[in-house]
Chain A
Amino acid sequence: QQPVQSPQAVILREGEDAVINCSSSKALYSVHWYRQKHGEAPVFLMILLKGGEQKGHDKISASFNEKKQQSSLYLTASQLSYSGTYFCGTVLNDMRFGAGTRLTVKP
């Protein structure tokens, strides 16, 4: 039941865009997105509930396609501070996380 994330890693230059995908084989209640810096706890970014909504937070937004049980995280005009590992968490009867996507933003 662990969601599948792609890509595993991505390297960007400042100002470039990135998309991180998360998919599940089960019908989900919601999808969460978190970012984790090295040696720290995961930090909440946003929640998407079933219903196909899309949310935004500064230059980071996400969508949830309920029919496909897929969510995508969009990072626009990336900044150095966006570097870290991004996890999607999917809620069915509990919350499970994907293996993560390591994002590196270079000057």
Chain B
Amino acid sequence: NAGVTQTPKFQVLKTGQSMTLQCAQDMNHEYMSWYRQDPGMGLRLIHYSVGAGITDQGEVPNGYNVSRSTTEDFPLRLLSAAPSQTSVYFCASRTRVYSNQPQHFGDGTRLSIL
């Protein structure tokens, strides 16, 4: 009963480095999304996907790339890390965007950029 699994849980990067945050779900959900959470800002949508091969931008997409080659995986790539990207990142999934089912969240990745 894994649900939504995010790796790593913690990461420290230097400015300019690149990295990929991993997200996998085992519930056969079509809809997956990435959020960042900063103090006082709530959860802001970065990118989302309504199915394999389909991605779209959310509220704050700049500096991030995503791809969805399988139903299970939705990695988030930071191309050139900046201190402004220091945040807690949550991956989430639902059956479909228009569904009466809840959205499931991973445990989060705490990312610090020095």
Contacts and interface: CB of A to CB of B under 8 A. Distances in A.
A36 to B, nearest CB: 9
B89 to A, nearest CB: 11
Interface string A5-33: 10000000000000000000000011010
Interface string A47-84: 10100000000000000000000000000000000000
Contacts of A29: 98
Give the top 6 A-B pairs by smallest Cβ distance, nearest first.
A44-B102, A99-B42, A97-B43, A41-B105, A100-B42, A94-B48
B74 interface: no
A2 interface: yes
Given A47-B100, A94-B48, A95-B33, A87 B105 contact: no
Given A29-B98, A41-B106, A94-B48, A99 B41 contact: yes
Contacts, number: 59
A89 B102 CA distance: 11
Given A94-B33, A94-B56, A87 B42 contact: yes
Interface of A: 1-2, 5, 29-30, 32, 40-42, 44, 47, 49, 87, 89, 91, 93-100
